[in-house]
């Protein structure tokens, strides 16, 4: 334990005083992989790499970076919070994708209240706006990559609207439990966190989970949910 803390301190030192070295990140993204070697080398020059700890804010209402973010490793959760504090997850940005929402705001010059949180430790490449502009102008591959990123987010949001406006809460919860669970049999999440996923209240989640438990689809303990009967959950989830 002590050993681990020392290691962490060393990490931080490295982050503060040294250059973070990762492999050729331009290999990692569809939009940069296909570029000529010359351009990629330039990119590696002008962009810089940042690392964020799990839980750190990547962007938010008060913190709008004027650059494009390439997510090299990790995952970012983008969510929106209402005035009265309720929250809803809009989508997640996975490694290999870029986070266009910040650029969106820059261009539209309108306020919005979405924020991005590092859901895991994150390594990302920050591409300053001038470089972004130049690339978008000169490289077809890159431009299409960016357009596709925008498009994906638009589609994601259409889905969220559909779910929130027309979906049943039990169906949505079953769906989300499965997707959060992935291959695992257990999820580590509080009721409040699940409520924030779906944009509802904790009490609602508690009630629905009670119901799931009675039907023996899940088992609960503090902060954990065991997925006992995934097929049943899947059946419920697809009954929309």
Partner DNA sequence: CGACTTGGGTGACAATGTCACTGAAAGGTC
Partner DNA sequence: GACCTTTCAGTGACATTGTCACCCAAGTCG
Closer CB to DNA, 51 or 196, in the complex: 196
Residue from 112, 192, 211, 215 touching its own copies (CB under 8 A): that is 112
Closer CB to its own copies, 1 or 108, in the complex: 108
Closer CB to DNA, 95 or 201, in the complex: 201
Tokens (6 digits) for 80: 């929106």
**Of its own copies, DNA, none, which one sits near residue 147, judging by CB under 5 to 8 A according to partner kind?**
its own copies
Site residues for its own copies, 164-203, by CB under 8 A, read: 164-166, 199
Q: Could you give phi then psi for residue 49, rounded to 5 degrees? A: -100, 135
- Cα–Cα dist 21/96, whole Å: 18
- Residue 3 binding DNA, by CB under 7 A: no
Residue from 92, 143, 202, 207 touching its own copies (CB under 8 A): that is 143
Specify the DSSP class assigned to residue 36: -
- Cα–Cα dist 138/158, whole Å: 31
Instruction: For the CB of residue 130, give the shortest distance to its own copies in the complex, in Å.
Output: 12
Please report which helix (H) or strand (E) contains residue 69, including its range.
strand 67-73
Instruction: For the CB of residue 109, give the shortest distance to DNA in the complex, in Å.
Output: 30
Specify the DSSP class assigned to residue 161: H
**How many residues lie near its own copies (CB under 8 A)?**
44
Instruction: For the CB of residue 206, give the shortest distance to DNA in the complex, in Å.
Output: 4
Please report which helix (H) or strand (E) contains residue 5, including its range.
helix 2-17
Tokens (6 digits) for 63: 């913190």
Q: How far is CA 236 from CA 5, 145, 161, 204, 232, in A?
A: 44, 35, 20, 17, 6
Q: 132: how many CB neighbours lie within 10 A of its CB? A: 19
- Residue 222 binding DNA, by CB under 7 A: yes
Site residues for DNA, 80-99, by CB under 7 A, read: 84, 86
- Residue 6 binding its own copies, by CB under 8 A: no
Site residues for DNA, 117-176, by CB under 7 A, read: 168-170
Query: Are 220 and 209 contacting, i.e. CB atoms less than 8 angstroms apart?
Result: yes
**Which residues are at the interface with its own copies (CB under 8 A)?**
80, 82-84, 86, 88, 90, 101, 103-108, 110, 112-114, 133, 136-138, 140, 143-144, 147-148, 150-155, 157-162, 164-166, 199, 240
């Amino acid at each position: 334990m002590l050993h681990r803390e020392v290691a962490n301190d060393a990490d931080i030192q490295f982050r503060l005083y040294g250059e973070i070295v990762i492999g050729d990140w331009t290999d990692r993204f569809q939009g940069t992989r296909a570029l000529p070697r010359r351009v990629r080398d330039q990119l590696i020059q002008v962009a810089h790499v940042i690392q964020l700890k799990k839980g750190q804010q990547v962007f938010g209402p008060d913190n709008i970076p004027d650059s494009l973010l390439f997510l090299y490793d990790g995952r970012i959760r983008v969510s929106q919070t209402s005035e009265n504090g309720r929250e809803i997850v809009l989508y997640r940005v996975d490694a290999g994708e870029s986070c266009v929402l910040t650029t969106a705001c820059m261009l539209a010059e309108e306020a919005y209240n979405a924020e991005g949180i590092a859901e895991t430790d994150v390594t990302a490449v920050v591409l300053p706006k001038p470089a972004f502009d130049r690339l978008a102008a000169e490289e077809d591959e890159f431009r299409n990559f960016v357009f596709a990123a925008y498009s994906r987010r638009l589609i994601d949001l259409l889905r969220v609207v559909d779910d929130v406006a027309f979906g049943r809460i039990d169906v949505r919860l079953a769906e989300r439990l499965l997707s959060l669970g992935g291959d695992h049999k257990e999820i580590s999440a509080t009721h409040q966190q699940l409520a924030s996923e779906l944009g509802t209240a904790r009490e609602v989640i508690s009630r629905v989970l009670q119901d799931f438990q009675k039907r023996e689809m899940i088992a609960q303990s503090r902060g954990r949910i065991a997925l006992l009967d995934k097929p049943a959950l899947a059946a419920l989830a697809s009954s929309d």
